[in-house]
Amino acid sequence: MGLFDFASNIGRNLFGNEDEAASKITDHLEANNPGIEGLSVDYQDGVVTVSGEAKDAEAVEKAILMAGNVEGVKEVVNNTNIPVVEEVQVEYYVIQSGDTLSKLAKKYYGDPMAYERIFEANREVIQDPDLIFVGQKIRIPLA
């Protein structure tokens, strides 16, 4: 599963019907805006399109993860001014049952106390390092 594909049956439940999906996802992104000016969100049949002027590729990645980790979203389309190229320095990981940020830090960095690095890279997606959910997609910085 790459950056742009998501499991639509999991994630934050933000909207009750498709008519309100775009506005609810927009509110969610703007509450923790990762750096996109003139943010615009469109939702149709489980596909979210994010548009606007991003400050950098990391801001776009975070916006995609924020939108994609919403229940009912199966795909996110990047229509910002910056294309996102999946780089070697970042791995996208889907949380499994039993995972903690400490366990992931031990796996990727050899040090469970390095969980803060993962948390900081996902601050817009993860509000509390102790509250992650199965199926949630996050960024693991490798470099």
CATH of the domain at 53: 3.30.300.130
Segment 2-23, tens digit of pLDDT: 678 888 888 889 998 899 999 9
- pTM of the model as a whole: 0.81
- What's the confidence (pLDDT) of residue 32? 87
Tell whether 25 and 52 lie within a shared domain.
Answer: yes
Q: Quick check: is 2 in a domain?
A: no
Tell whether 66 and 29 lie within a shared domain.
Answer: yes
Which residues form the domain of 123?
Answer: 90-141
Query: Quick one: which H or E segment has residue 78?
Result: strand 75-80
Task: Please tell me whether residue 37 adopts helix, strand or coil conformation.
Answer: strand
Torsion of CA 112, 99, 134, 142, to 10 degrees: 40
- What's the confidence (pLDDT) of residue 6? 87
- What's the confidence (pLDDT) of residue 71? 93
Query: Which residues are 51's β-sheet partners?
Result: 40, 79
Structural domains of the chain, count: 2
Tell whether 101 and 64 lie within a shared domain.
Answer: no
- What's the confidence (pLDDT) of residue 7? 82
Q: Which residue has the tokens 């049952």?
A: 97
Tell whether 128 and 96 lie within a shared domain.
Answer: yes
- What's the confidence (pLDDT) of residue 87? 55
Tell whether 102 and 68 lie within a shared domain.
Answer: no
Please list the ranges in the chain whose pLDDT falls under 70. 1-2, 85-88, 143
Using alpha carbons, select from 38, 98, 113, 41 the residue that is nearest to residue 70: 41
